[in-house]
């Protein structure tokens, strides 16, 4: 792989590949420091209760138990969470869900941690609990966080555009429906983990599986009562994240443990069951929609109400609602809309960030509404979408202006010409006995970056090493999406070097620079932009120095090539090692800061929702097609073929691009068909991977991914982030196919065999 080309647009194999396949790459889970202790928690027995007394005496006498800590041992605010800091590191006066940690145990082994947890006696006073978000909004509902003026309402907002819902009366055709979607578990293979140690200088050092090392550091300082300068966090490659590690998971507990372990390092690694219990999920959603069009099929009015269950703590529920509202009207021009949204606390497990951030829920709903309306007026669903889809310069139904590259029409046209679409009716007709076939489609988008209020900043740092190679100080964690490998490709392109010339440093609060979270489809867009600048700066310095070393006057005469600078007129070369030694230490390092542009459009939503990230400026777009077969005897759905046409701007690396599209789609297929995170009265019923079913290799087809390239001139080399868009459309594409095959709309997800079978029965009875 040494001399393989790094050129933008080629399938450069990922730099992290070899270490990962050989088992030598060290994840946070792989750290077992010398002399370490294990940490673990005792969680709440109640979904909602006051904590009266915590008796740890029986736990403390178990041999090998080093310490048992409770809320009183936390010296800081004991609260984490961004933007709302409302989740306790250790529950103090009350517990709000069954995953709440009540005590932290530090012991010589994991077995001792479990024994100690069982020996801790907690006296609770049960409180009435609320598990339904609509009920939680009622005036007499039990309140989770008494200090909140809005009681259980975390965030709400409304968009009233044109004549709003009133315009539904002007429509020739309209449809109405309600949809319920369940929680989805991230189920990353590496559960929440890390190690921590208080070093001899009094610095708390953490290695954690986190998407947000820099933000975690500030949060830990606040929660644990330490100056941020006394905290150092590094984020090695993550074993998956998908939003579930967008913030503190075990870091607060780990930090607290290390402050109380007599200087010994501490490790914490959630079991799968602990992970399911404590980690955040995709927000369960209840959505009520009305949609209408004119005689000619032009969409005219949409009204919807979105209720998201954020569970016991806010997590990133606010931004999730903001994105849900922003994507609620899909990719269409709709003059009159009324969109209201509520994100509500309940005593259920926590919901938070998950790939798509609210978009998968609303697109599942609105894209079914579009099909229902197309059916009603007898229009082809793809034609109907094409007729109403936005172009650059148009406003979405949610009022967001499309001012950047807007490729949805091109995506739809690409699908329209594809054999899977053209031959769909024949394929449906050819269904074998006891099988029904149908083809469904859906279209959508994903806003990228942080929105208009929170600055989306990345700071890149690059160093020319004395051995003539370069070190990239990545500022954004890589949870598997390959953003840091892409850094090599971007730097290699600008600096004219091969992949082997780069050393890639993973984010570290001491050595790299704060560059925001690994989320929001922003990692390559924002950090890549920052890195481009750092590369150009360093290139300029290198060439200037070569001129000063007597190799001519004009930089145009010089060419950076692998390991050397080539002087074109004379044909002479000068090695980078020589140039590096001629430069001072500070000269060899370049840093560059980048702040992503934000939407300048007039305000269309209330300030609180705007602050949570509404609206975005840059969007990627896609349309998906699913060919499904239903077993009439069992209701089981098989996805036979799947096509995705995606506008993610220019493709920097086709292989990494496909990885994101394929991986996102398969997670979306799971969401559509099997993934049902069951909770009853706050009790998790899907407690592990045998009861919560994620797709396996036999469950999914090969996916055809067609990039529909636009050029996004604000993105590095014209790219847009595609980390999320893939997950947004499998649900509605499959749901539309199921509805076509059964003649029924299943309004509650997932579209399990049982529900599909019931739909078939209902049709028969009719």
Partner 1 sequence: MLIRFYLNNQLKEINSDPDKRVVDLLRENLGLTGTKEGCGEGECGACSILVDGVSKLSCLMLAAQLDGHNIITIEGLADGEKLHPVQAAFVVGGAVQCGFCSPGMVIAALDLLQRNPHPQRSEIRQGLSGNLCRCTGYQKIVDAVEAAALEMGDKL
The residues binding ligand FES (CB under 6 A) are: 189, 240, 480
Place of tokens 């995606």: 646
Range in contact with partner 1 (rule: CB under 8 A) among 81-89, 168-176, 287-295, 655-663? 655-663
Point out which residues pair with 642 in neighbouring strands. Answer: 626, 703
Task: Check: CB of residue 512 under 8 Å from CB of residue 462.
Answer: no
Residue of minimal CB distance from ligand FES? 189
Task: Check: CB of residue 654 under 8 Å from CB of residue 636.
Answer: no
Q: If 0-12 CB within 10 Å is exposed, 13-18 middle and 19+ buried, where does residue 556 land? A: exposed
Task: Check: CB of residue 646 under 8 Å from CB of residue 707.
Answer: yes
* Residue 584 contact among ligand FES, partner 1, none, beta carbon within 5 to 8 Å by kind: none
**What is the closest distance, in whole angstroms, from the C-beta atom of residue 686 to partner 1 in the complex?**
13
Decide if residue 572 touches partner 1 (CB under 8 A). no
Choice between 336 and 662, CB closer to ligand FES:
662
Decide if residue 748 touches partner 1 (CB under 8 A). no
Choice between 575 and 696, CB closer to partner 1:
696
Among 10, 135, 260, 655, binds partner 1 (CB under 8 A): 655
Decide if residue 11 touches partner 1 (CB under 8 A). yes
d(CA 641, CA 628): 7
d(CA 663, CA 77): 39
Q: If 0-12 CB within 10 Å is exposed, 13-18 middle and 19+ buried, where does residue 685 land? A: exposed
**What is the closest distance, in whole angstroms, from the C-beta atom of residue 319 to ligand FES in the complex?**
25
d(CA 304, CA 366): 9
Among 3, 53, 146, 702, binds partner 1 (CB under 8 A): 702
Residues contacting 264, CB < 8 A, separation 6+: 35, 36, 37, 66, 197
Measured from the Cβ of residue 734, the count of other Cβ atoms closer than 10 Å reads 27
* Residue 162 contact among ligand FES, partner 1, none, beta carbon within 5 to 8 Å by kind: none
Do the bridges between strand 470-473 and strand 502-505 make them parallel or antiparallel, or are there none, so unpaired?
parallel
d(CA 731, CA 363): 8
Choice between 399 and 482, CB closer to partner 1:
482
**What is the closest distance, in whole angstroms, from the C-beta atom of residue 189 to ligand FES in the complex?**
4
Among 17, 128, 419, 607, binds partner 1 (CB under 8 A): 17
Choice between 262 and 697, CB closer to ligand FES:
697
Decide if residue 20 touches partner 1 (CB under 8 A). yes
d(CA 180, CA 74): 40
x/- contact string, 660-679, with partner 1 (CB under 8 A)? --xxxxxx------------
In 46-140, which ranges are continuous DSSP H helix? 57-60, 110-119, 133-136
Choice between 416 and 655, CB closer to partner 1:
655
Phi-psi region of 564 (alpha: psi -120 to 50; beta: other; left: phi over 0): beta
Among 659, 686, 736, 752, binds partner 1 (CB under 8 A): 659
Among 703, 734, 739, 746, binds partner 1 (CB under 8 A): 703
x/- contact string, 161-190, with partner 1 (CB under 8 A)? -------------------------xxxxx
Choice between 313 and 657, CB closer to ligand FES:
657
d(CA 518, CA 441): 30
Choice between 266 and 609, CB closer to partner 1:
266
**What is the closest distance, in whole angstroms, from the C-beta atom of residue 733 to partner 1 in the complex?**
15
Choice between 38 and 450, CB closer to ligand FES:
38
**What is the closest distance, in whole angstroms, from the C-beta atom of residue 351 to partner 1 in the complex?**
18
Nearest Cα neighbor of 468 from 504, 501, 505, 503 is 501
Tokens of 314: 């806010």
Point out which residues pair with 641 in neighbouring strands. Answer: 627
Among 76, 101, 236, 239, binds partner 1 (CB under 8 A): 239
Number of residues that bind partner 1 (CB under 8 A): 57
Site for partner 1 in 263-292 (CB under 8 A): 271-272
For 404-500, list the strands marked E by DSSP.
Answer: 435-448, 457-464, 470-473
**What is the closest distance, in whole angstroms, from the C-beta atom of residue 638 to partner 1 in the complex?**
13
Choice between 189 and 549, CB closer to ligand FES:
189
**What is the closest distance, in whole angstroms, from the C-beta atom of residue 391 to ligand FES in the complex?**
37
Q: Provide the Cα torsion 210, 212, 215, 216; round to 10°.
A: 0
Place of tokens 């060290």: 26
* Residue 247 contact among partner 1, ligand FES, none, beta carbon within 5 to 8 Å by kind: none
Site for partner 1 in 469-528 (CB under 8 A): 479-482
Nearest Cα neighbor of 608 from 86, 154, 137 is 154
Task: Check: CB of residue 338 under 8 Å from CB of residue 328.
Answer: no
State the residues that interact with partner 1 by CB under 8 A. Answer: 1, 11, 13-14, 16-18, 20-27, 29-30, 32, 186-191, 237-242, 271-272, 479-482, 655-656, 658-659, 662-667, 688-690, 694-698, 700, 702-703
């Amino acid at each position: 792989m040494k001399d393989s080309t790094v050129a933008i647009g080629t399938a450069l194999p990922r730099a992290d590949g070899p270490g990962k396949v050989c088992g030598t790459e060290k994840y946070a889970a792989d750290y077992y420091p010398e002399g370490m202790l294990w940490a673990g928690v005792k969680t709440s027995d109640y979904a909602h209760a006051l904590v009266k007394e915590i008796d740890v005496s029986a736990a403390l006498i178990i041999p090998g138990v080093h310490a048992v800590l409770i809320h009183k041992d936390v010296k800081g605010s004991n609260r984490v969470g961004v933007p709302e800091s409302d989740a306790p590191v250790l529950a103090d006066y009350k517990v709000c869900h069954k995953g709440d940690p009540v005590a932290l145990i530090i012991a010589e082994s994991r077995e001792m941690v479990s024994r100690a947890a069982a020996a801790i006696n907690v006296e609770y006073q049960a409180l009435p609990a609320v598990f339904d978000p609509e009920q939680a909004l009622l005036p007499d509902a039990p309140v989770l966080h008494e200090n909140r003026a809005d009681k259980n309402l975390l965030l709400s907002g409304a968009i009233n555009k044109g004549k709003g819902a009133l315009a539904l009366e002007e429509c020739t055709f309209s449809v109405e429906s309600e949809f319920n979607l369940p929680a989805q578990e991230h189920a990353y293979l590496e559960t929440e983990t890390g190690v921590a140690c208080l070093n001899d200088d009094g610095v708390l050092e953490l290695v954690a599986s986190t998407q947000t090392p820099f933000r975690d550091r500030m949060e830990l300082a606040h929660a644990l009562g330490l100056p941020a300068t006394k905290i150092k966090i590094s984020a090695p490659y993550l074993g998956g994240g998908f939003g579930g590690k967008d913030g503190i998971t075990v870091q607060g507990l780990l930090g607290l443990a290390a402050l109380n372990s007599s200087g010994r390092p501490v490790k914490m690694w959630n079991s799968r069951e602990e992970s399911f219990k404590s980690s955040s999920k995709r927000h369960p959603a209840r959505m009520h929609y009305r949609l209408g069009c004119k005689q000619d099929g032009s969409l005219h009015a949409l009204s919807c109400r979105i209720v998201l269950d954020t569970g016991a703590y806010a997590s990133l529920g606010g931004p999730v609602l903001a994105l849900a509202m922003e994507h609620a009207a899909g990719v269409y021009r709709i003059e009159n809309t009324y969109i209201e949204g509520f994100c509500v606390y309940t005593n259920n497990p926590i919901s938070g960030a998950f790939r798509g951030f609210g978009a998968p829920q609303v697109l599942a709903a609105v894209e079914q509404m579009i099909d229902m309306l197309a059916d009603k007026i007898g229009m082809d669903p793809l034609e109907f979408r094409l007729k109403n889809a936005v172009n650059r310069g148009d406003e979405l139904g949610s009022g967001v202006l499309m001012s950047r590259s807007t490729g949805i029409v091109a995506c739809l046209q690409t699908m329209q010409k594809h054999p899977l679409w053209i031959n769909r009716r024949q394929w449906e007709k050819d269904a074998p006995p006891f099988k029904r076939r149908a083809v469904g489609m859906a279209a959508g988008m994903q806003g990228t970056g942080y929105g208009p209020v929170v600055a989306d900043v990345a700071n890149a740092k690059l160093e020319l090493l004395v051995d003539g190679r370069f070190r990239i100080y990545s500022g954004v964690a890589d949870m598997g999406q390959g953003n840091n490998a892409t850094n090599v490709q971007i730097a290699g392109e600008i600096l004219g070097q091969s992949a082997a010339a780069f050393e890639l440093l993973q984010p570290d609060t001491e050595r790299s620079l704060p560059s925001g979270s690994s989320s929001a489809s922003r990692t390559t867009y924002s950090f890549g932009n920052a890195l481009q600048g750092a590369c150009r700066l360093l290139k300029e310095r290198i060439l200037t120095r070569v001129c000063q070393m007597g190799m001519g006057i004009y930089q145009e005469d010089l060419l950076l090539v692998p390991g050397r600078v080539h002087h074109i007129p004379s044909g002479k070369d000068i090695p980078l090692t020589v140039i590096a030694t001629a430069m001072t230490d500070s000269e060899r390092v370049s840093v560059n800061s980048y702040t992503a542009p934000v939407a300048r459009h007039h305000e269309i939503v209330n300030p609180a929702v705007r602050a949570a990230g509404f609206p975005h400026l840059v969007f990627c777009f896609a349309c998906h097609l699913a060919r499904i077969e239903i077993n009439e005897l069992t209701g089981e759905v098989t996805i036979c073929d799947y096509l995705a046409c995606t506008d993610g701007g220019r493709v920097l690396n086709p292989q990494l691009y496909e990885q994101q599209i394929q991986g996102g789609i398969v997670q979306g297929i799971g969401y559509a068909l099997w993934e049902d995170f069951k909770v009853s009265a706050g009790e998790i019923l899907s407690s592990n991977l045998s009861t919560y079913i994620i797709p396996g290799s036999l469950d999914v087809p090969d996916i055809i991914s067609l990039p529909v390239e636009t050029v996004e001139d604000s993105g590095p080399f014209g790219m847009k982030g595609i980390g999320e868009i893939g997950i947004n459309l499998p649900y509605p594409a499959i749901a539309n196919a199921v509805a076509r095959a059964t003649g029924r709309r299943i309004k509650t997800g997932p579209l399990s065999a049982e529900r599909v079978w019931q739909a078939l029965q209902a049709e028969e009875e009719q």
